Amino acid sequence: MSRYNDIDLSKWQEYTDINTDSLWIINRRDNSGAHSGSYHGNFVPQIPHQLFSRYTKKGDWILDPFAGSGTSLIEAQRMGRNSIGIDIQDSVVKEAQERIVAEKNRNVGPNYILATVQKLILIYY
């Protein structure tokens, strides 16, 4: 059976960035780099980080059909995942693009696609 993440299950207790409890207590929102909590529908970056760690590997593609300010896409980029983000507002997609480009913690080679429902805005930045 092929692996669906990069986690070595024999060393699961050694991972400091993965919450192994059934309840994720997040004391403070990660506002580092391009992450910002100013967008009205924004959620904490630690949530996509936990999910991407568990269910994806480096180089995999992640789809966020409600990209908003780009939190998931920024986190995907930090973790070496490719991502596709879709939102219904051009202005929101442009703001997400600016955040992704401004991200200082860029891993080598991740790609992303941003689009509105009406048209494709940016391919493979």
Other C-beta atoms lying within 10 Å of the C-beta of residue 100 = 24
Cα 17 to Cα 99: distance, rounded to the nearest angstrom: 23
The CATH fold of domain 9-122: Rossmann fold (3.40.50)
Radius of gyration of the chain (CA): 15
> pLDDT, tens digit, for every residue of 68-93?
888 899 899 889 898 888 888 888 88
CA-to-CA dists, residue 27 to 15, 35, 46, 51, 52, angstroms? 18, 16, 10, 18, 20
How many CA atoms are closer than 13 Å to the CA of 62, on its beta-carbon side? 33
- 107 or 75: which leads in pLDDT: 75
| pLDDT for residue 43 | 76
Model pLDDT, residue 63: 92
Count Cβ atoms within 10 A of the Cβ of residue 29 and give its class: 0-12 exposed, 13-18 middle, 19 or more buried.
middle
> H/E element holding 7?
none
Distance CA 63, CA 85 (A): 6
The structural domains of the chain, with segments of one domain joined by +, span 9-122
What's the pLDDT tens digit per position in 20-71? Answer: 666 777 777 776 666 665 665 667 888 899 899 989 999 899 999 888 888 8
Write down the pLDDT at residue 52.
93
Q: Provide the pLDDT for residue 125.
A: 47
